[in-house]
């Protein structure tokens, strides 16, 4: 039993360690991505994603231009968005960020709140982090 408590204490301490500079930068970029969707800012999204970025979700796969268009146009209007539970794993010039994205807004069927679990792959290209692949899926609605 004491060994289990020690292992738990070490695990909790590791979870509380401050993020490294690269991780903090990636979290800021993920937040910029969410805000670009709210603002329907295609130019900001194009700065965040690499030239061969690919996006996939439950509806299929989109290349860069189609993905940017899907996030910045359409009948749904996202009024606020943010990220929760982000984790970044950095491997040199490549990183994987996982997390949950929440979005609130209005669509043809009225107000909505959606949550997505995502995995984004980032690479340092031309001296800056660029997202090269994104995958997400809609989480089931939370029940009280």
Domain for residue 4, yes or no?
A: no
For the chain, which residues score pLDDT lower than 70? 1-18, 143-144
What are the pLDDT digits (tens) for 31-62? 999 999 999 999 999 999 999 999 999 999 99
Domain for residue 49, yes or no?
A: yes
Count: domains in the chain = 1
Taking the C-alpha atoms of residue 73 and residue 100, their distance in angstroms, rounded to an integer, is 22
Q: What is the pLDDT of residue 13?
A: 47
Domain for residue 1, yes or no?
A: no
Domain for residue 10, yes or no?
A: no
- State which residues form the domain around 61: 16-138
Domain for residue 9, yes or no?
A: no
Q: What percent of the chain has pLDDT over 70?
A: 86
Domain for residue 6, yes or no?
A: no
pTM, to two decimals:
0.85
Domain for residue 102, yes or no?
A: yes
CATH for 53: 3.10.450.50
Nearest to 132 by CA among 144, 140, 120, 142: 120
């Amino acid at each position: 039993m004491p060994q289990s408590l020690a292992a738990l204490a070490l695990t909790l301490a590791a979870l509380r360690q401050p993020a490294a500079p690269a991780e903090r930068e990636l979290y800021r970029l993920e937040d910029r991505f969410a805000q670009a969707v709210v603002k329907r800012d295609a130019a900001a999204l194009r700065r965040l994603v690499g030239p061969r970025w690919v996006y996939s979700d439950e509806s299929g796969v989109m290349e860069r231009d189609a993905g940017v268009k899907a996030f910045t146009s359409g009948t749904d209007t996202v009024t606020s968005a943010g990220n929760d539970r982000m984790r970044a794993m950095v491997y040199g010039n490549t990183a994987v960020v996982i997390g949950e994205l929440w979005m609130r807004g209005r669509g043809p069927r009225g107000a909505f709140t959606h949550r997505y679990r995502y995995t984004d792959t980032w690479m340092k290209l031309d001296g800056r982090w660029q997202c090269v692949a994104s995958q997400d899926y809609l989480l089931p609605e939370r029940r009280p």
